[in-house]
Structure 1
């Protein structure tokens, strides 16, 4: 049985085969031309979206020093810390978790070199939810398409959002275009990612994701697309094109007596 065929670890919502994929690439997280080059290319676009959503929800001005001071932010599937570090620079208290244990020392060492204090843990969203931890903002980027039970996973993520807080969740749509671009194009033609990084059958449509997030107790308040332009070789945010990569922002409404 290959790692791709392994069943989820007993008692968890983690697929050992998925973890093995990312552990094999752990040392390359901060190599701009390595296996995570596509993520580095997309990162300014997704970071801009996250900053805008957090700033709007909490009334912060991201142009000010330490604009997110006093906010506790969780990055699930943090990898090498590509999102944790900018959040820490904005003054947030940041926790980064990843079940791929080899990612954690890479992230810690890089943060130390940058002079940043970030709480990195080899853990899962479910473990933090069981421990009763909550956050002002939960970043859930490109993770949901890698778990065996997306609905259960999103339920755990929702428990991590404190009332009045938000979750930003991005993933990949499931349609013929996403198969051609995310599988054939990115893995086979451009070779941006190792073959087998994604499984098209695990991709989730925007309506499916919205339904699961709502069932978990959060309200989706925004949906946008991340669109790659092969002419300018850059990513941008689109209000209309959610055909391949897309992102949602959802909130947990405060219960008022």
Structure 2
């Protein structure tokens, strides 16, 4: 939750760096050291974004890897709206997009998953996501946002493997095994227990009825099939790679 204050210039990044280093030196626990190292790497990553923006000011609009200018986008306006409103039928994606709309914030892991879903599952141009995050994030930062979207799309610097497609329900099962995050932001699924809350369309009818859920009625069916969308995305990336 420091991010909005960093973006607004209320907190000195240099002061944060030196404070974290001081705590590192004063605390003997190895696990704590690893946590601080991760935090410091994020501050360096932020600087890396500014480095890119300074040298490539067009990254807010134009892919650094030029062959991506002809990427075969196929998504629709209707799908874009469902993504923005958290109505994709993928609980983790929907939870993240609803949290963003309600609070102006979203956890970094979920930012990656929702962004990957937009450009790789739906094949909607990353510029649409950049614009939506610009309009909704309290911690919006031009350099970070541009680098993040180009990284997740695979058209920027240091985007290896550029063809990686995040699996929304596996990410959910790994980082939110009990479904607490989903339960908070997608209340229509709050009565559904794990593991079904991660992929409600696979739950037995009796389980759904007991939870008061009707897929396609009280909660949307998946907007795309994951396996099909992944295959389509990889084909599109292979086409771009050929250029």
TM-score normalised by length of structure 1:
0.28
Structure with bigger RCO (C-alpha 8 Å, 6+ apart): 2
More helix by share: 2
| Higher gyration radius (CA) | 2
TM-score by length of 2: 0.29
Greater share of residues in strand: 1
